[in-house]
Amino acid sequence: MIPAAFEYAAPKTVDEALALMQKLGANAKVLAGGQSLLPMMKLRLANPAHVIDIGRIPNLRYIKEDGRHTLAIGTTTTHWEIESSDLLKKKCPLLAETAAQIGDVQVRNVGTIGGALAHADPAADYPAAILALEAEIIARGPKGTRTVKAGEFFKGIFTTALGADELLVEVRVPMLGTGTGGAYLKMGHPASGFAIVGCAAVVTVQGGKCASARVAFTGVSDRAFRDAAVEKAITGKALDAQSVAAAAEQAAGGVAPLSDYYASADYRSHLAKVFAKRALMKAVERAK
Ligand SMILES: Cc1cc2nc3c(=O)[nH]c(=O)nc-3n(C[C@H](O)[C@H](O)[C@H](O)COP(=O)(O)OP(=O)(O)OC[C@H]3O[C@@H](n4cnc5c(N)ncnc54)[C@H](O)[C@@H]3O)c2cc1C
C-alpha cells in the first residue's frame, strides 16, 4: 500500500520547520523516522497534504552531557543511537536499555526518540522510562522554547502537551548517580514488540533501605503513568524480596487497564504486579 500524494519539504533549520508548520497548519505533518507516521499514511489514517521532514536538520541529532547532572538528547536521535551510546550506557543506562527493546533493528535504525514521544502510543516503551527518570521535554514553537516535565507531557491516547505549532526539540534526562539503579522490563507483543505491559523503575538505596523510588508503566492504560501507590509502599522500607513483592501488589490499582484480543484487563493488571516486582528488584540490584 502506498500513501496518498503529498508535497515534501526538507527544512534545514528548526526556524524554517516552524515557519512551514505555521504556514501550512493542519494540512501538514512533521516527519521524523516515519515509523509511525508512514504506516498511518499508508492506512489512510493520516492524509497530510504536506510532509515536513525534520530528519535532515543538522544539530538535532546528538547525545551530550549538559552540566554535571544532565544528559541532553536531540529529538532526531534514533533508538539505535540511544541503545548503543556509551555515554548513556554509563550515565543513564535505563534509557539505553529501554531503546534496545523497541521493535526490531530496522525500526530502531530510523525511529527517533522525539517521534516516539510526540506520537504517544499508549504501548510505546520510552514513556515509562521518561516518567521514571523525571525527564524534561523541550518544545519550540512560534512563542519560543518551553520545558515540559515528563509527568505533564502524556495527556491520553496519542495525545501530548505539545501544541500543534510546536516541535519537540530535545529530551533531558538525569545522570543516575551512585546508589541509584534503574531498570525497564516489558512483556512485548510477539508481532510488533509494543509493550503489553512495560515497567520502568528508578530506586535510590541508602543504608540498605529505599530512600526514593519512581515506578512508571506503559501499555497498561490509555497513557503511560507513574504509580504513586507502589512508590509510597516501597519508600523507607528494607529492599528485600518480601517488601518489594508487597509494594508491587499495589501496581495499577487506580487505573482502568486496557483490554484487547491479546490481553484482557485482568491479565494486564496481573502483569503490572509481576513487572513492577521484577523491575524494582533489578533496579535495586543495580543500585548496589
Ligand atoms: C514494526 C514496528 C514495530 C514497533 N515496535 C515498537 C515497540 O516495540 N516499542 C515502541 O515504543 N515503539 C515501537 N514502534 C514505533 C517506533 O518506535 C517509532 O519509531 C516511533 O513511534 C515514532 O518515531 P518516528 O521517529 O518514526 O516518528 P514519525 O513516525 O516520523 O512521527 C510520529 C508522529 O510524531 C510526530 N513527530 C515526530 N517528530 C516530532 C517532533 N520532533 N516534534 C513534534 N512532532 C513530531 C509526527 O508528526 C507524527 O505525528 C514500532 C514501529 C513499527 C513500524
For position 29, which CATH number holds?
3.30.43.10
SS3 175: coil
Q: Is residue 2 part of a domain?
A: no
CB–CB of 244/284 below 8 Å? yes
Task: Say how many domains are in the chain.
Answer: 3
Kindly state if the Cβ of 129 falls inside 6 Å of ligand 1: no
Q: Is residue 1 part of a domain?
A: no
Kindly state if the Cβ of 128 falls inside 6 Å of ligand 1: no
**Which residues on neighbouring strands pair with residue 170, listed in sequence order?**
74, 138
CA of 111 to the centre of ligand 1 (A): 6
Sign of CA dihedral 130, 133, 138, 87: negative
pLDDT tens-digit profile, the chain (288 residues): 789 999 999 999 999 999 999 999 999 999 999 999 999 999 999 999 999 999 999 999 999 999 889 999 999 999 999 999 999 999 999 999 999 999 999 999 999 999 999 999 999 999 999 999 999 999 999 999 999 999 999 999 999 999 999 999 999 999 999 999 999 999 999 998 999 999 999 999 999 899 999 999 999 999 999 999 999 999 999 999 999 999 999 999 989 999 999 999 999 999 999 999 999 999 999 997
According to the model, what pLDDT value does residue 275 have? 98
According to the model, what pLDDT value does residue 255 have? 93
Kindly state if the Cβ of 277 falls inside 6 Å of ligand 1: no
Q: Ligand 1 atom 28: the closest Cα is on which residue? A: 34
Q: Which of 37, 51, 61 to mutate to test the pocket of ligand 1 (most atoms within 8 A of CB)?
A: 37
Q: Are residues 141 and 215 in the same domain?
A: no
CA of 106 to the centre of ligand 1 (A): 13
SS3 113: helix
d(CA 286, CA 203): 9
Kindly state if the Cβ of 35 falls inside 6 Å of ligand 1: yes
C-alpha 190, offset from chain centre: 20
Q: Is residue 281 part of a domain?
A: yes
Q: Is residue 197 part of a domain?
A: yes
According to the model, what pLDDT value does residue 159 have? 96
| Domain-ending residue, one of 174, 209, 243 | 174
Atom of ligand 1 nearest to the CA of 167: 42
- Please provide the size of the chain in residues: 288
According to the model, what pLDDT value does residue 68 have? 87
Q: Which residues contact 135 (CB under 8 A, 6 or more apart)?
A: 129, 150, 171, 172, 173, 174
Q: Is residue 42 part of a domain?
A: yes
According to the model, what pLDDT value does residue 288 have? 78
Atom of ligand 1 nearest to the CA of 139: 42
CA of 116 to the centre of ligand 1 (A): 4
Q: Are residues 196 and 155 in the same domain?
A: no
Kindly state if the Cβ of 36 falls inside 6 Å of ligand 1: yes
Q: Is residue 52 part of a domain?
A: yes
Q: Are residues 81 and 129 in the same domain?
A: yes
Is the whole-model pTM more than 0.85? yes
CB–CB of 184/125 below 8 Å? yes
Taking 3-state DSSP, the helix, strand and coil percentages for the chain, each rounded to the nearest 5, stand at: 35, 30, 35
Helices (H), the chain: 14-24, 37-42, 79-83, 86-91, 93-99, 105-110, 113-119, 126-132, 228-234, 241-248, 265-287
Kindly state if the Cβ of 82 falls inside 6 Å of ligand 1: no
What count of other Cβ atoms lies within 10 Å of the Cβ of residue 68?
Answer: 6
Q: Are residues 70 and 169 in the same domain?
A: yes
200: CATH: 3.30.390.50
Kindly state if the Cβ of 47 falls inside 6 Å of ligand 1: no
According to the model, what pLDDT value does residue 84 have? 98
Q: Ligand 1 atom 43: the closest Cα is on which residue? A: 167
Kindly state if the Cβ of 116 falls inside 6 Å of ligand 1: yes
* DSSP letter assigned to residue 157: T
Q: Which range of residues forms the domain containing residue 45? A: 7-56
Q: Is residue 90 part of a domain?
A: yes
Kindly state if the Cβ of 76 falls inside 6 Å of ligand 1: no
